[in-house]
């Protein structure tokens, strides 16, 4: 569910130091924005930022960029992150359809957490795990392509497995009910907490493709 309009959100985003302005200007040089030249992980569709903020807190030797297109959502992530002042965390406000225009062979891992399932067949190409998006991601990675995905939507999960298989990805990890495994290192997103409390199974997959 999208947040309603947040007054002053646009101004807050423009003034926040954690937000990367004009990201296309940094294409190929994102390491220069961080204190350490570390592996770079991105989350596409970070929502209010709970997952990626916690990732950055727990993993100081990895740099993180959260990507979100809705002002009313990213502004909440900014508010949380500004209190912590994490040197390994940045945000970008943009639509993921332009993702290949701002990164160039510099990403190590992509997180897709509870992406919009776009259930209608005519909207298939809008799914972040569709073949058209998977092909966009290929130019982002500097080494092997690694994607981690979590969702509560079984149809999207099954569709994603088919997409990964079609493009010759190797499945490294898969879970049909993540919370039954009681993994200590699992960081829950806002949606994950909501759906798991309702008893919905959480699906997870990690895939890799050599380039």
Active-site residues, by number, are 116
Give pLDDT, residue 49.
96
Instruction: Flag residues of the chain having pLDDT under 70.
Output: 1-5
Give pLDDT, residue 1.
43
Give pLDDT, residue 81.
95
The span from the CA of 1 to the CA of 127, in Å, is 17
Of 74, 34, 41, 70, residue with least CA distance to 55: 41
Give pLDDT, residue 2.
45
What would you report as the CA-atom Rg of the chain, rounded to the nearest whole angstrom? 16
Give pLDDT, residue 180.
86
Q: Indicate the SS3 state at residue 199.
A: coil
Element (H, E) at 149: strand 145-151
Give pLDDT, residue 126.
96
Q: Is 90 exposed, middle or buried (0-12, 13-18, 19+ CB in 10 A)?
A: buried
CA 87, distance to chain mean position in Å, is 18
Give pLDDT, residue 4.
59
Give pLDDT, residue 183.
73
Which residues partner with 67 through β-bridges? 44, 92
In the chain, % helix, strand, coil (3-state, to 5) comes to: 40, 20, 40
Which residues partner with 19 through β-bridges? 91
């Amino acid at each position: 569910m999208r947040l309603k309009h947040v007054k002053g959100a646009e101004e807050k985003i423009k003034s926040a130091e954690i937000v990367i302005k004009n990201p296309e200007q940094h294409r190929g040089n994102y390491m220069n924005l961080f204190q350490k030249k570390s592996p770079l992980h991105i989350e596409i569709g970070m929502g209010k930022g709970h997952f990626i903020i916690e990732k950055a807190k727990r993993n100081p030797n990895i740099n993180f960029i959260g990507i979100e297109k809705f002002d009313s959502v990213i502004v909440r992530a900014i508010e949380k992150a500004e209190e912590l002042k994490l040197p390994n965390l940045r945000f970008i406000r943009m639509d993921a359809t332009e993702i290949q225009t701002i990164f160039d062979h510099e990403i190590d891992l992509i997180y897709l957490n509870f992406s919009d399932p776009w259930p209608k067949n005519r909207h298939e190409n809008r799914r972040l795990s569709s073949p058209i998006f998977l092909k966009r991601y290929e130019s982002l990675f500097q080494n092997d392509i690694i994607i981690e995905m979590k969702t509560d939507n079984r149809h999207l999960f099954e569709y994603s497995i088919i997409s990964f298989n079609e493009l010759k990805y190797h499945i490294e990890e898969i879970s049909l009910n993540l919370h039954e495994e009681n993994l200590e290192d699992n960081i829950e997103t806002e949606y994950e907490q909501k759906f798991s409390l309702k008893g919905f199974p959480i699906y997870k997959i990690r895939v890799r493709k050599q380039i």
